[in-house]
């Protein structure tokens, strides 16, 4: 029999602390759909997605109801389109994006990821075509997400690709100028991209994966925040070791709930279960914020001195608790600090308590990078590329995933508001020193060599 405490503590998380399963993402391999005829590829790929994902939403809803844990997002991740559509021209790639958008709509999911290329060492024809297609593809679809991996610890940083992505981010924002550059919110540039990320916009199905797989992303910043606050109230003199323990125990519970439902969804769909991504992923809702945890732990605001140390403790404790709860952990697995998607982080940025430089420092100890940052519309492609290069360097040197999802908001300046809607939220545009001019460094091109793996200081 369950104890009253077991029942009540679990219910508390569900009723008041926004415990949910943030995403169940079905990975679908399109490798064997490949064809040099784009029409044939689209027909095969659409049929594959619509067959495998036909029951995804209903199954997630049914199991969510059985356990009383809402599955907030149901999504699809496909093989990198640059690879499976390698023979196609940019216009064909746009047609593929439209087909993915339709297929995702037909099965009722809100996002499909995998409009992606892996170019850390060099660019092939398919990669170039896909990157050329990104601005139009993201402007003319609503569900498609794109990601491009431009760096790894083993390959170094492909600076030609970095510059190209600076230009692509800029063009994508301009293609969606009437929506504050929304297209760029669906485009992420990565270093060390994992093959099994369930979260958007970076989800794609890695080339080492099977035909189909379910990966789940758990969340729970609100649960962690309340657990920390309860512990501080209940235990006078509590120290950071004990607080870390409380976060671990909370992450354990959240992870267990996510894996339980993920495995049952996978069983019901007849698909392999992949991993749990242990991330603290906020939404623009009060009480569901990573930024609020900083206040609960005694900082005036996220961004104040102490923020990087606090985030390091938080991120590590979440990983430890989650890794004990599940043997299959992967994806990004860390706290997210997406500015527009977190009310408290967005407010700190608006107040001037949180600068882009402090955000960059914080990304060295957490997942995933400079995320959902609104920049002035006159930020140059070169400055965007240079900012991306900085973020890639942090990932490459520290052997971790980092990413940049930057939105240069067309026609708007620092201090103005950008609104992306829904889960993508809203943010005050941050200033970027030297953001307008040219940047000769990123024009050198070539590849930043892979870093030495000893002499690690």
Return residues touching another protein (CB under 8 A). Answer: 1-2, 4, 6-11, 14-15, 65-69, 253, 256-257, 260
Q: Which among 100, 327, 63 has a CA at the least distance from the CA of 204?
A: 100
Specify the residue, 67 or 244, whose C-beta has the smaller distance to another protein. 67
Q: Which among 116, 126, 171, 173 has a CA at the least distance from the CA of 148?
A: 116
Q: How far is the CB of 5 from another protein (least distance, A)?
A: 8
3-state SS, the chain, equals: CCCHHHHHHHHHHHHHCCCCEEEEEEEECCHHHCCCCHHHHHHHHHHHHHHHCCCHHHHHHHHHHHHCCCEEEEEEEECCHHHHCCCCCHHHHHHHHHHHHHHHHHHCCCEEEEEEEECCCCCCHHHHHHHHHHHHHHHCCCCEEEEEEEEECCCEEEHHHHHHHHHHHHHHHHHCHHHCCHHHHHEEEEECCCCCCCCCCCCCCCCCCCCEEEEEEECCHHHHHHHHHHHHHHCCCCCHHHHHHHHHHHHHHHHHHHHHHHHHHHHHHCCEEEEEEECECCCCCCCCCCHHHHHHCCCCCCCCCCHHHHHHHHHHHHHHHHHHHCCCECCCCCECCCCCCCHHHHHHHHHCCCCHHHHHHHCCCCCCEEEEEEEECCCCHHHHHHHHHHHHHHHHHCCCCEEEEEEEECCCCCCCEEECCHHHCEEECCCCCCCCCCCHHHHCCCEECCCCCCCCC
Q: How far is the CB of 137 from another protein (least distance, A)?
A: 40
Specify the residue, 68 or 415, whose C-beta has the smaller distance to another protein. 68
Specify the residue, 50 or 229, whose C-beta has the smaller distance to another protein. 229
| Residue 276 β-bridge partners | 216, 329
Cα–Cα dist 339/347, whole Å: 9
Q: How far is the CB of 256 from another protein (least distance, A)?
A: 5
Specify the residue, 6 or 37, whose C-beta has the smaller distance to another protein. 6
Q: How far is the CB of 4 from another protein (least distance, A)?
A: 5
Q: How far is the CB of 235 from another protein (least distance, A)?
A: 20
Q: How far is the CB of 222 from another protein (least distance, A)?
A: 16
Specify the residue, 1 or 440, whose C-beta has the smaller distance to another protein. 1
Tell me which residue has tokens 């892996």.
Answer: 118
Q: How far is the CB of 57 from another protein (least distance, A)?
A: 16
Specify the residue, 12 or 416, whose C-beta has the smaller distance to another protein. 12
Specify the residue, 10 or 153, whose C-beta has the smaller distance to another protein. 10
Q: How far is the CB of 231 from another protein (least distance, A)?
A: 17
Specify the residue, 7 or 207, whose C-beta has the smaller distance to another protein. 7
Specify the residue, 7 or 413, whose C-beta has the smaller distance to another protein. 7
Q: How far is the CB of 308 from another protein (least distance, A)?
A: 31
Specify the residue, 64 or 85, whose C-beta has the smaller distance to another protein. 64
| Residue 144 β-bridge partners | 112
Tell me which residue has tokens 């990932």.
Answer: 395
Specify the residue, 14 or 86, whose C-beta has the smaller distance to another protein. 14
Q: How far is the CB of 39 from another protein (least distance, A)?
A: 42
| Residue 335 β-bridge partners | 280
Q: How far is the CB of 69 from another protein (least distance, A)?
A: 7
């Amino acid at each position: 029999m369950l104890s009253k405490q077991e029942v009540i503590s679990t219910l508390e998380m569900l009723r008041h602390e926004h415990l949910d399963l943030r995403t169940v993402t079905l990975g679908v391999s399109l490798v064997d759909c490949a064809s040099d005829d784009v029409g044939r590829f689209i027909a095969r790929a659409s049929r594959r997605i619509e067959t495998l994902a036909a029951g995804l939403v209903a199954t997630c809803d049914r199991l969510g109801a059985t356990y009383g844990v809402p599955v907030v997002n149901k999504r699809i991740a496909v093989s990198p389109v640059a690879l499976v559509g390698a023979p196609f021209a940019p216009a064909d790639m746009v047609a593929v994006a439209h087909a993915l958008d339709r297929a995702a709509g037909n099965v009722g999911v809100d996002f499909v990821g995998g409009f992606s290329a892996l170019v850390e060492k060099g660019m092939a024809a398919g990669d170039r075509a896909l990157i050329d297609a990104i601005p139009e593809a993201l402007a003319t679809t609503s569900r498609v997400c794109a990601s491009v991996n431009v760096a790894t610890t083993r390959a170094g940083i492909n600076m030609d690709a970095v510059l190209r992505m600076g230009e692509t981010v800029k063009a994508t924002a301009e293609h969606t100028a009437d929506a504050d550059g929304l297209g760029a919110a669906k485009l992420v540039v990565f270093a060390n991209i994992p093959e099994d990320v369930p979260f958007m916009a970076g989800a794609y199905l890695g080339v080492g994966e099977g035909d189909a797989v379910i990966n789940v992303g758990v969340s729970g910043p609100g649960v962690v925040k309340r657990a920390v606050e309860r512990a501080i109230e209940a235990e006078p003199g509590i120290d950071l070791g004990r607080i870390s323990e409380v976060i671990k125990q909370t992450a354990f519970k959240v992870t267990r709930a996510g894996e339980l439902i993920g495995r049952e969804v996978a069983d019901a769909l007849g698909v392999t279960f992949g991993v749990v991504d242990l991330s603290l992923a906020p939404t623009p809702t009060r009480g569901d914020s990573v930024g609020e945890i900083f206040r609960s732990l005694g900082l005036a605001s996220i961004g104040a001195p102490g923020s990087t140390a606090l985030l390091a403790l938080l991120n590590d404790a979440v990983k430890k608790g989650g890794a004990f709860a599940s043997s299959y952990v992967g994806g990004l697995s860390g706290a997210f600090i997406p500015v527009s998607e977190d009310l408290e982080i967005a407010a700190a940025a608006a107040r001037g308590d949180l600068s882009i430089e402090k955000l960059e420092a914080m990304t060295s100890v957490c997942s995933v990078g400079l995320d959902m940052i609104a920049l002035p519309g006159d930020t140059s492609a070169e400055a965007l590329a240079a900012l991306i290069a900085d973020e890639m360097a942090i990932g490459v040197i520290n052997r971790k995933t980092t990413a940049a999802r930057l939105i240069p908001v067309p026609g708007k300046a620092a201090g103005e508001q950008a609104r992306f809607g829904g889960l993508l939220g809203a943010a005050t545009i941050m200033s970027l020193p030297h953001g307008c001019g040219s940047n000769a460094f990123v024009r050198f091109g070539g590849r930043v060599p892979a870093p030495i793996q000893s002499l690690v200081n």
